[in-house]
A and B are shown apart, each in its own frame.
Chain A
Amino acid sequence: MTNAFFINHHYSSMNYSQCMKRNQHIKKFTMFGDRFAFLPDKLKNEKMDALKLAGDQLESALLSLDEPAAEKIIRDAAKQTSPIKIAGELISSTLKRIGDTWEKGELSLSQVYMSGLICERIIDKVLPAQSASRKNQPKMAIAVLEDFHLLGKRIVYSSLRASGFGLTDLGGGLSIDDLVSIVKEEQIKILLISVLMLPSALHIKNLKSRLADDVKIVVGGAPFRFDENLWKEIGADYCGKDSAEAIEIVSKLMEENK
């Protein structure tokens, strides 16, 4: 038997206006304001309102695990603009907001994970993996160093892909030697590393010393959440506490590499 019996009751039992009311308390995401800066005020406000509304609806659909509803919202929004813009604006901002809410302790990791997974599946339909829109990006990959604690990697991978970024999932259980040779062979320029165990985090220092200076290392995972100086100690270029921060960091790196 397959059913969604564990759908979060808090959200599934909320009606639309309750969801909207709740969303007023969530940190407002401001990127839309800059996107429409060239438009007259009235039109700009209408566009922002439409995206904000779509974002609120998408968030409610994702937190209720309602994939068909989420797909409809994304497809409707994509009719107004290009899929890559929808990935970058609507999906990315919604996932970022969900990540931020988890960070505040108001959502659970299972909701963050399921939201990313649903968005990834939808965006793969509207923006296929081999889409030309994904190609103007430096080569990027994500891996779990030394063990098989794959969830953090999966959440970040899904969130980035759903946000329109192209990246390779290198999997888990990789040694430093494995990663050094893959990065060199594949000419990877941005390497995201997820770890759960402290020893794995400490071993990244060795990895960093063996990679070229132009390879940027972005780290994330539990040890970095419990010791905020650890990422600097091991020589990482950036540290993302969660998928929301990973999206921000990667967006910044992409801008720098344009």
Chain B
Amino acid sequence: MERVLTTLSHKEPDRVPLFLLLTMHGAKELGLGIKEYFSKAEHVFEGQKRMQKKFSNDCYYAFFHAAIEVEAFGAEVMYSNDGPPNSGLPVIKNIEDIKYLEAPKVGETKVLHKVLKAIELLKTEGKDNIPIIGVAMSPFSLPVMQLGFEKYFELMHFHKDLFDRLMKINEAFCVDWSNAQLAAGATAICYFDPVSSPTIVTKDLYRETGFRVAKSTIAKLNGPTATHFASGNCLQLADILPETGTAVVGVSTQEDIGKLKQAYQKKLTLLGNMNGVEMRTWSPIKAKTIVKELIRKAAPGGGFILSDNHGEIPFQVEDETLLSIADAVKEFGTYPIKKGF
């Protein structure tokens, strides 16, 4: 915990913290199918516990899957044998349906309780020594699963009243859901907000929408947040993102970590930016080279947590690669970072 808190305060801890954001690997570890694994809090607890030890991970990641939030709104979840569960057809069929939509209450939504239970179990296990990362979709990004991207763009561009109404509903849910996770023992909330990335919407549009929503939502949370763009770019947002009140930013591998470090220096801690998709093909030597380079560019001065760039490492990434990453952090990530290695 101290390692993470020190880097968050933009100081150098003993070594670079490593957040391997593993979700499905716990199923492999326990010999379970992905659907079965996510059916019980005890499975996820056990999976996280084992992976933290195996890879010297500096956090527990209490994320089940993104679709669980739209499941709370009544959507179907589609499970796969080798990937994350997906949301099925959008639960909001017509934009006009937003008029009658209501936010589910976390206390009354059984499907979410297993996540809270997993957090409670991890809290007991970690005894405040290991940060527990809870997850919530931003009110601005959740509609992609609620409506589908096409209808959401239509809503965003042409139906102001209903857009505002949906943001209010989603904000109420996001606050309730995040605070329930924090009350259960989560240390911080990873606020996934890919739609706010300039990859998806312009910065001007973000200012009027995702930014405004994030500022309002984050202010109501009873704990710190990390805003994650799930592989989306965010360099352009360095001047305004800190105003949302977030403490950490999840950055993409498609932007240079050196430039990101410079732009967010002393404002936000960087979380990233190993390429999760490519990681599947990395040799141990390649893993070591990449980790070394990222540490060289982003670790000096603290304010850096090594992680993947998407917020979830693909199921196909082998343990051998993850162990190579963990070893490389120990080898190259000890402060003070050696110059010119």
Which A residues are closer than 8 A to B by beta carbons? 1-10, 65, 105, 107-111, 113-114, 146-151, 154, 173, 197-200, 202, 222-223, 225-227, 229-230
Contacts and interface: CB of A to CB of B under 8 A. Distances in A.
B125 interface: no
B261 to A, nearest CB: 18
A3 B160 CA distance: 7
B283 interface: no
A148 B87 contact: yes
A122 B40 CA distance: 51
Interface of B: 78, 80, 82-84, 86-90, 148-150, 153, 156-161, 198-202, 204-205, 208-209, 231, 233, 236, 253-254, 275-278, 280-281, 314-316
A226 B277 contact: yes
B233 A227 contact: no
A108 B160 contact: no
Contacts, number: 111
A154 B157 contact: no
Contacts of A227: 275, 277-278, 280-281
Contacts of A6: 156-158, 160, 205, 208-209
By secondary structure, the B interface counts as: loop
A198 B278 CA distance: 10
24 contacts: A3-B160, A5-B157, A6-B156, A6-B157, A6-B160, A9-B204, A10-B204, A105-B198, A110-B157, A146-B80, A148-B90, A148-B148, A149-B86, A154-B149, A197-B84, A198-B314, A198-B316, A199-B82, A202-B82, A222-B231, A223-B277, A226-B253, A226-B276, A227-B278
Contact of A108 (B82, B87, B89, B199): B199
Contacts of A154: 149-150
Contact of A226 (B149, B159, B278): B278
4 closest cross-chain pairs (CB), A and B: A199-B83, A151-B149, A226-B277, A108-B202
Nearest to A154: B150
A150 B149 contact: yes
Contacts of B280: 198, 227
B116 to A, nearest CB: 27
A223 B277 CA distance: 6
A29 to B, nearest CB: 22
Contacts of B208: 6
Nearest to B161: A1
A2 B158 contact: yes
Given A105-B233, A108-B198, A113 B150 contact: yes
